Chain A
Amino acid sequence: MDSLTKHDPYADALPPIEKYQAMYNEAKSIRGISLWQDAWRRLRRDWVSMTALSFLVLLALAAIFTPLFPLQSPREQDLANRLALPPEFHSTTKRANADGEKETVPVSLKLKHLEGEEFDRRVSELWTDPTGFDKLLLNTRLLIFGDYCLPSLCGTDLLGRDLLSRLFYGARVSLIVGLVATLVSLIIGVSYGAIAGYSGGMVDDFMMRVVDIMYSVPFIFLVLFLITILSEDDVKQWLESYGISRIVILYIVIGAVYWLTMARVVRGQIISLKNEQFVDAARTVGASGLRIVFLHLVPNVMSIVIVYLTLTIPAVMLFEAFLSFLGLGVEAPAVSWGVLAEEGLKVITPVKIYWWLVVFPALALASTLYSLNFLGDGLRDALDPRMKNR
């Protein structure tokens, strides 16, 4: 408004400035409900979605702050004393005492009386070189809980490692793979779809033909192929010299598979939006094509993109599990839920079922995917324009 008053040469020919000021104030006083606020209002009333959402938020927080919890080490094996134990509420191990006799002690980190180099060594034994952020959390945890560890509420695995702790650390990997890979698919899909939709004509035709072709490419097979190849040593080393590790490849490759539908959806939306007035307005003031697409159009398709996103994450996480099943997932010592479920599945035999090894990872995976699915459904309903103001 200010700029208008200052530079308008025809100011005299217009009604007095006060009138504009009044109109402006009036406009300001109306608090329009944006689509987002409206959707949020509706979502809040849907208890299923809200439960799912809260679960996911808690899960994400738990994954981020995992080192803060008094968990056992996800790495340390105790073959002699804690091999494949079912869930228990009181965890003990045997340790030789000063007299050389074995005595039963509760499981602990054995960090308390260590200092300096020995302390660092023990930390890296327990957590495989934690990053700076994790170290901070770990130190806080040590301050609060000391050597205390939660008992193995989910049992221990076949090398005597605590499953609960492995599940928590696995959540980090699984969620990150799910999120980042989806983000990759989002970036590719949205830009591709938006550009195709906005350009129209030949470009659109061609770009969508490419998508059609790609629908017929058995990506799963190419991905398997690609990952086997990229896991090959010289390729891996070459990539690592650029700072790309295997897990990054995993994100990119999985993301690159799941962008097709996203691109189609976004294109459809952009086409219906691109002749709207606000686009014309932007064009009139001389905004470039790219600017219009990414600053004006894309934000307007975000609602549908977000719905689609909540449905892509489960697909990606399942895909990660599938890769783990084939032994192509993340590599030890990192774990993911898929890897854990696969390890558990391997020991399902008629002779003995280490049920906790497969039930807990499956439960973790299923409840997360469940929540994502419900949240997706809820969001779709909430963001449905036909439901507005209801």
Chain B
Amino acid sequence: MKWSIRGLFPYVFPLIFVVALFFALRMGSLPPADFTFSNGTEPQTIDPAKSTGAPEGRIINAIFEGLYRNMPDPDDPNNMIPMPAMAKSHDVSDDLKTYTFHMRDGAKWTNGEPVTAYDWDFSWMRFLHPESGTQYGYQLWYIKNAKRYTTGDIHEGDRVEVELADRKDRAQMFPRGTMVSGILKKVNTYPEGAAKSDDAGHGGHGEGESTYKIYTVDCVPEKDGKPDWDGKTTERVFYQSGTPQVYLDKHPGAEEAMHVLLHFSEVGIKAPDEKTLVIELESPTPYFLELASFYPMHAINRTCVETFGYPDWTKPENIVTCGPYQIQERRIRDRIRLKKNPTYWGADDVKLETIDALAVQSNTTQLNMFMSGQMEWATDIPNPVLDDLKEMDKEKKKEPGRENESDDLLIAPMLSTYFYRVNTNRPPLDNPKVRQALNLAINKQEIVDFVTRGGQIPAGSLVPPGITGYEGPPTESYDPERARALLKEALGGKKMRPIQILYNTSEGHKSIAEVIQQQWKQNLHIDVQLRNVEWGVYLTTVREMDYDVARAGWIGDYPDPNTFLDMFVTGGENNETGWSNKKYDGLIESARSEADPEKRFAMLREAEEILVDEMPILPIYFYVSINMVRPYVKNFYPNLQDLHPLHILEIDEEQREKIREWEGLE
């Protein structure tokens, strides 16, 4: 026995090899897709309501569709405009506060159900519901009462909805428990004497200190599936799950409820019939169509969500979608394979049958894969080679037959700003002159020329150029002499304490921080430390304002200065600099309800002037979008928002063959 095992031993090694090979190839390789692109990090989710970033956006835009969709303007393809999608048209009321969308006929979900206005009623309710964990929730807060619905802000006399705790599965939001409607009569807050907060939804105040609420509601009966507000009322008492027994003892007969929220019929989202969706806004919102095209606001299929529950409904085998593509396969941190959806209303115009979205993070790997012909579109290119890539584009045009080929490297301005936040609560940074000095001592031209190298534009202010009809205030450029003078004036000759630049871990941010570190040291003789933290930590640190100067970037959600400027109103959730200016707040506020676009822009410009004057932020540069796309990919247009709808892309097979031959790719 023993000798036989010993004898077999050398054969174990080839066996291992065979097993390994078997395992490795068992994954199977998909046939190559028609089109492959790098999608940055692995998408966190494909649930529109929970999504947060551009990688998710690309996928969600491909598999779902909004009421409207940002598409290249037929007259000027480099300009994106919202075009009818699941809604075929819309009307706006005279006061600009009511939008009526008319749904497209014949649009279908992949399970055969028609796409209707009810889908939006449901999806936006889900989107706004506190249990959904929607991070973009505030985007729909332009709708009447939407914010109150999300935050659970209810008062005596409000119409409320109560969801009883009789769900089939408590962890699943859908199908929902029994819904009871009524009028809120009384709220008891425990522990008694706890901070009387206006919005009842704020459960925790500080750590470990929770307040609990017990609601007394005059419930109304239901008639034809709708609450009958004039019906006979019955008084019932509800408590939110998790309320300790001590407080419950004071309210015998209280019933457990999952949520007590403002009644959804109070929110300005109505679907009178399946073809009509009526949205009432808090105030005129000129960019509402852009919002309605924004991917987190895409509708999902109720049947699918209720059948499978979260997260199972997002699995490729379960998901029901309505967009131009369907998910065929999803491999974690590898790829999402999309295939054409034959039931899409515009399926005839969708050219590519299959698309691969690779989750490649490293930009060097992306470039390698692009250059070796493994992908057609790379979304993130290493800075140091940008000049060489431009050179390559020039070189290739000198070859015979390729004179008219478009560039591989596409660089376009983008609606996005790279800036440093300054903590205006910490002396001496609380002095505007110090901040001015810091700003003037940064040689932004040098940064864009030698570090970022993509043709970014040095920024003097916050709002990027390119928004039609808006022009920012004049700004000052690099002036070390004046910077020194300002600093001296502000500090009275005292030495500035060392300050710290906070940035989230990334090669690009590091280089820029290192350059600014040296520039401040040389120009202002300030000692600067660098502090690099992971993204999550970075966010908390900035939020808690535990920094001197922190790197930041802001991408405009829609082409309007407001998306940048309203960030810095007093106490704004993304202000995070501690800066506050009454006049600025006033201007932003009045711009919000101003209907005349010209006057509105004038107000915003005035506000930006204040910002430039006070410098709670140090603008560095305006981003450009940098994409590498093979010239045989048609209908790819660089634009301000860096949005590239996948379903209009097309591949010129003939040119593809030629280019692959020229480039020496197999």
Contacts and interface: CB of A to CB of B under 8 A. Distances in A.
A333 B501 CA distance: 13
Nearest to B519: A77
Contact of B450 (A83, A331, A347, A354): A83
A60 to B, nearest CB: 29
B533 interface: yes
Majority SS at the chain A contact face: loop
Contacts of B389: 351
Contacts, number: 75
A159 B371 contact: no
Contacts of B446: 79-80
Contact of A349 (B368, B514, B515): B368
Interface in B369-387: 371-372, 382, 384-385
B52 interface: no
Given A75-B518, A351-B367, A121 B525 contact: yes
Contacts of B372: 350
A84 B384 contact: yes
Nearest to B507: A346
Nearest to A234: B546
B510 interface: yes
A125 B527 CA distance: 9
B382 A347 contact: yes
Interface string A117-155: 000010011000000000000000000000000000000
B503 to A, nearest CB: 11
Given A347-B382, A350-B368, A351-B392, A80 B546 contact: no
Contacts of B525: 121
Contacts of B367: 349-351
A75 to B, nearest CB: 7
Interface stretch (A225-233, A247-255, A296-304, A367-375): A225-233
B514 A332 contact: yes
A386 B328 CA distance: 68
A291 to B, nearest CB: 47
Interface in A296-332: 327, 331-332
A347 B363 CA distance: 10
Looking at chain A, what size class is its interface with the partner chain?
Answer: 20 to 34
Contact of B537 (A79, A233, A333): A233
B511 interface: yes
Nearest to A121: B525
A45 interface: no
A351 B385 contact: yes
A352 interface: yes
Contacts of A333: 514, 530
B530 A352 contact: no
Given A159-B451, A346-B364, A77 B384 contact: no
The interface centre, meaning the residue of B372, B382, B546 with most chain A CB atoms within 10 A of its CB, is: B382
Interface in B486-507: 505, 507
A76 B515 CA distance: 9
A233 B502 CA distance: 11
Contact of A352 (B385, B514, B518, B522): B385
A158 B511 contact: yes
Point out which of A76, A332, A349, A352 has the most chain B C-beta atoms below 10 A from its C-beta: A349
B546 to A, nearest CB: 7
Contact of B451 (A76, A79, A231): A79
Contacts of A331: 530, 532
B330 interface: no
Contacts of B151: none
A348 interface: yes
A184 to B, nearest CB: 25
Given A327-B505, A346-B507, A77 B392 contact: no
Nearest to A357: B384
Contact of A351 (B388, B514, B530, B532): B388
B534 interface: yes
Interface in A58-108: 75-77, 79-80, 83-84
A51 to B, nearest CB: 36
Interface string A202-225: 000000000000000000000000
B541 interface: yes
A115 B511 CA distance: 31
B521 interface: yes
Contact of B384 (A76, A121, A125, A352): A352
A232 B514 contact: no
A129 to B, nearest CB: 8
Interface in B409-454: 446, 449-451
A83 B525 CA distance: 24
Contact of A80 (B450, B505, B518, B541): B450
Given A348-B364, A354-B384, A231 B530 contact: no
Interface secondary structure of B, over-half rule: helix
A345 B362 CA distance: 12
Interface in B459-518: 505, 507, 510-511, 514-515, 518
Which of B385, B446, B534 lies at the interface centre, i.e. has the most chain A CB atoms within 10 A of its CB? B385
A233 B533 contact: yes
A77 B450 CA distance: 11
A125 B371 contact: no
Interface string A339-381: 0000001111111101000000000000000000000000000
Contact of A228 (B449, B521, B531, B534): B534
Q: Which of A77, A231, A347 has the most CB of B within 10 A?
A: A77
A12 B535 CA distance: 86
A85 to B, nearest CB: 13
A332 B507 CA distance: 12
Nearest to B370: A350
A349 B382 contact: yes
A160 to B, nearest CB: 8
Contacts of B388: 351-352
Interface in A153-178: 158-160
Given A83-B450, A347-B384, A347-B385, A159 B537 contact: no
B533 A232 contact: yes
Point out which of B371, B388, B514 has the most chain A C-beta atoms below 10 A from its C-beta: B514
B166 to A, nearest CB: 42
Contacts of B541: 233
Interface-centre pick from B449, B450, B521 (highest chain A CB count, 10 A): B450
A158 B514 contact: no
A77 B515 contact: yes
A379 B510 CA distance: 43
Given A77-B518, A159-B514, A233-B537, A349 B450 contact: no
A159 B515 contact: yes
Nearest to A347: B384
B8 to A, nearest CB: 26
Contacts of B522: 125
Nearest to B517: A333
Contacts of A160: 450
Contacts of B546: 233
Contact of A79 (B384, B515, B527): B515
A80 B451 CA distance: 10
B386 to A, nearest CB: 9
A142 B364 CA distance: 41
- Residue among B510, B518, B530 with the highest chain A CB neighbour number at 10 A: B518
Given A332-B510, A347-B385, A351-B392, 12 more contacts: A77-B518, A80-B449, A125-B518, A160-B450, A233-B537, A333-B530, A349-B364, A349-B368, A351-B367, A351-B371, A351-B385, A354-B384
Q: Which 6 A-B pairs rank lowest in CB-CB distance, beginning with the nearest?
A: A79-B450, A350-B371, A352-B388, A351-B385, A351-B388, A347-B384
Interface of A: 75-77, 79-80, 83-84, 121, 124-125, 158-160, 228, 231-233, 327, 331-333, 345-352, 354
Interface of B: 364, 367-368, 371-372, 382, 384-385, 388-389, 392, 446, 449-451, 505, 507, 510-511, 514-515, 518, 521-522, 525, 527, 530-534, 537, 541, 546
9 contacts: A79-B451, A124-B527, A125-B518, A345-B364, A348-B364, A350-B368, A350-B372, A351-B371, A351-B388
